[in-house]
Structure 1
Amino acid sequence: MTTETGSPKISRRGVLGAFAATAVVAAPTYSKAAGFLRGAGDIRRLRMYNGRTGESMDAIYWIEGDYIKDSIKEVNYFMRDWRRDEVKAIDIRTLDIIAAAHNLLDVREPYLLLSGYRSPATNAMLRARSSGVAKHSLHLTGQAADLRLSSRSVNQVAKAAEACRAGGVGRYYGSNFVHMDCGVVRSWGG
């Protein structure tokens, strides 16, 4: 369609159609969490709050291809077994999944961390109280986290984590949290 002067007439529908086509072409197609973090300003960041300890964390843990040792130590301490005050190195693949899912959700709200590393004693105690706690949980090896966002549903958070195709994702609707780990790609509770 053209105007009386012969120049093309731009309609709202045409602009939206062009934008949609561009967005589809530009959409990421990475199959791993780190792929979703590319183009994130060459930084990786974790924002979390722990209601049990009252601690908050906002850490840039990766810049332009390098993990920052001091930030990783901060994350490891933050995600410790708070019941026993035991620290374990958290697998960076898990951190990347957590950060990538947060980026995909496009929120500034920090995650509420319910559980990061669990000592064998803590895991056994929780297992005695609930059938939902695995005997060989990836929390024991620092490869899992249980997280919540108040501004997003369990399903929304889980779908963002699943989009990373980089580990396990569990939906716990009754307790309002999502489990993310860097183990085998799988999902449950959905």
Structure 2
Amino acid sequence: MIRKLFEQHYLSETEPVQSRRRLLQAGLGACAMLALPMTATTAHAAIKKPYEKKLSFLNLHTGERTRATFWANGRYVPEGLRAINHVLRDHRTNERTTIDPYLVDFLHQLQYRLRTNQEFHVISAYRSHATNAKLAQLSDGVAKNSLHTQGKAIDIRLPGRKLADLRSAALSLQMGGVGYYPSSNFIHLDSGRVRFW
């Protein structure tokens, strides 16, 4: 059927059958040649790079930086989480804990929402109970049972971004607590229940 249509539209009735066959074979050969690169491209596109999640941090107290892949091939990457735990440790006592992976995901979603891969500037992340108690004596704004002591909270800013925009993006995610501290130039995020102040 296809051959018949091809012959009707592209070959003159006056040409000998032999010429028609050669032209048809040449045309089919050309089509096959054109299909090869497309097949190779399609096969190449099917081999996708594994989905990875990365975050970058600058600890403003220690000057330490990290850019860590914390998720790849459908699972958390222990080495990446360890790097994050290290840079987010209590800089006063040098103690570290396991940062809640949900909080790390919250930060990654915030980064995605803001369409950036810029590093977060960290004001405070994990706090030992001793550090938290000292800070609570100095300020009414420090909760005695702070989620910072459980590795479930972080105080951040993002250079070049308005703090209000950072807060709005975090609130829109509805993933946990969001605190707004414009006078101190940071927002608080935590992996507790959804709430804001």
Structure 2: how far apart are the matches of 1:59 and 1:171? 26
Structure 2 unaligned spans of 5+: 1-49
Structure 1 unaligned spans of 5+: 1-40
After alignment, is 100-109 or 49-58 more displaced?
Answer: 100-109
Report SS of the residue matched to 1:47: strand
Q: TM-score, normalised by structure 1?
A: 0.75
Given that 2:163 and 2:186 are in contact with CA atoms closer than 8 Å, whether structure 1 keeps it comes out as: yes
Q: Which residue of 2 aligns with 1:90?
A: 99
Q: Which residue of 1 aligns with 2:59?
A: 50
Q: Which residue of 1 aligns with 2:88?
A: 79
Q: CA deviation at 1:48?
A: 0.8
Cα gap change, 1:64/1:164 in structure 2, threshold over 3 Å: closer, same or farther?
Answer: farther
1:155 partnered with 2:171: no
Structure 2: how far apart are the matches of 1:44 and 1:159? 22
Structure 1: how far apart are the matches of 2:61 and 2:69? 23
Amino acid at match of 1:180: L
Query: Cα RMSD over matched residues?
Result: 1.1
Q: Which residue of 2 aligns with 1:103?
A: 112
Q: Which residue of 1 aligns with 2:144?
A: 135
- Asked which structure has the greater CA Rg, the reply is 2
More helix by share: 2
Amino acid at match of 1:178: I
Q: CA deviation at 1:107?
A: 2.3
Identity of aligned residues (%): 39
Higher relative contact order (CA 8 A, sep 6+): 1
Task: Please list, as runs of the form range in 1=range in 2, the aligned pairs for 1:1-20 lying within 5 A after superposition.
Answer: none
Structure 2: how far apart are the matches of 1:157 and 1:85? 29
Q: CA deviation at 1:106?
A: 1.6
